[in-house]
Amino acid sequence: EVQLLESGGGLVQPGGSLRLSCAASGFRFSSYAMRWVRQAPEKGLEWVSGISSRGDFTDYADSVKGRFTIARDNSKNTLYLHMNSLRLDDTAIYFCANGPNWVDYWGQGTLVTVSS
Amino acid sequence: DIVMTQSPDSLAMSLGERATMKCKASQSVLHSSNNKNALAWYQQRPGQPPKLLIYWASTRDSGVPDRFSGSGSGTDFTLTISSLQAEDVAVYYCQQYYTTPRITFGPGTKVEI
């Protein structure tokens, strides 16, 4: 069974930093491109960032470029999202998701709240 | 970026009725290489992550009931639920992956009973 388990969310002040993690199991993690998608409260889905299966290609939404960094450790089957200079409008549930095109599997998400 | 729009914003239906919702892309998502449309549909129930229903515009994912069907090509797409069930209450999102890894989602259509 495929499982994606996010962690690392929480309450942070504007300008602060957080690191999200996503532990993957049940599939060959190193063979799949991965991505982060977020959902602000009562809002729709927004792609945040993606990374190739080997980690040699990354891309970011314009709204987070220069502030967020996606990474992966294939030896640990884990995906990361380093978030710096957090803003109020970064408040959202952050989902870990797999698949290079459509998303086959989603994690349950981790809530990031940016507030003073 | 390709902008996705969906209509209507919400649908109030009765059990057993046919529900139809639209998705429009700001440019064509038809791949000339395989003649397939890079368009997926998801269902998101309250408090849950999205669930994949359909990819390549009309291919149902494994285990998805056949009352769900997708159609369309180019820029205009439709998701149809042939006979609405209580468990179909959810928000439905379309997503283009023509510009993957930069994917974009529509704003969603909320289905209520």
Flag whether residue B46 sits within 8 Å of chain A, measured between CB atoms: no
Residue B101 above 90 pLDDT?
A: no
Query: In this complex, do B38 and A101 lie within 8 Å of one another by their Cβ atoms?
Result: yes
Contact between chains at A61 and B93 (C-beta distance less than 8 A): no
State how far residue A47 is from chain B, nearest Cα, in angstroms: 6
Tokens 């109030």 sit on residue: B12
Residue range B4-58, pLDDT digits in tens? 999 999 999 999 999 999 999 999 999 988 999 999 999 999 999 999 999 999 9
Nearest residue to A94 (alpha-carbon basis) of A4, A29, A2, A26: A4
- B55 contacts chain A (CB < 8 A): yes
Residue of A102, A103, A105, A108 to mutate for B, most B C-beta atoms under 10 A? A102
Report chain A's mean pLDDT, rounded to a whole number: 96
Q: Evaluate if residue B88 carries a pLDDT over 90.
A: yes
3-class secondary structure per residue, B34-96: CCEECEEEEEECCCCCCEEEEECCCEECCCCCCCEEEEEECCEEEEEECCCCHHHCEEEEEEE
Stretch A31-44: mean pLDDT: 95
Residue B66, pLDDT > 90, answer: yes
Of B49, B55, B107, the CB nearest to A107: B49
User: What is residue A100's predicted lDDT score, i.e. its pLDDT?
Assistant: 84
Q: Is B51 on the interface with A (CB under 8 A)?
A: yes
Chain A interface includes B16 (CB < 8 A): no
- Distance, CA of B76 to CA of A84 (rounded, Å): 38
What pLDDT shows up at residue B63?
95
Backbone angles phi, psi at A37, to 5 degrees: -130, 140
| Residue found by looking up tokens 């599997």 in the block | A105
With a cut of 90, say whether residue B83 has pLDDT above it: yes
Please report which confidence band the pLDDT of residue A99 belongs to, taking 50, 70 and 90 as the band edges: confident
- What are the DSSP calls for A21-58, one per residue? EEEEESS-GGGS-EEEEEE-TT--EEEEEEE-TTSS-E
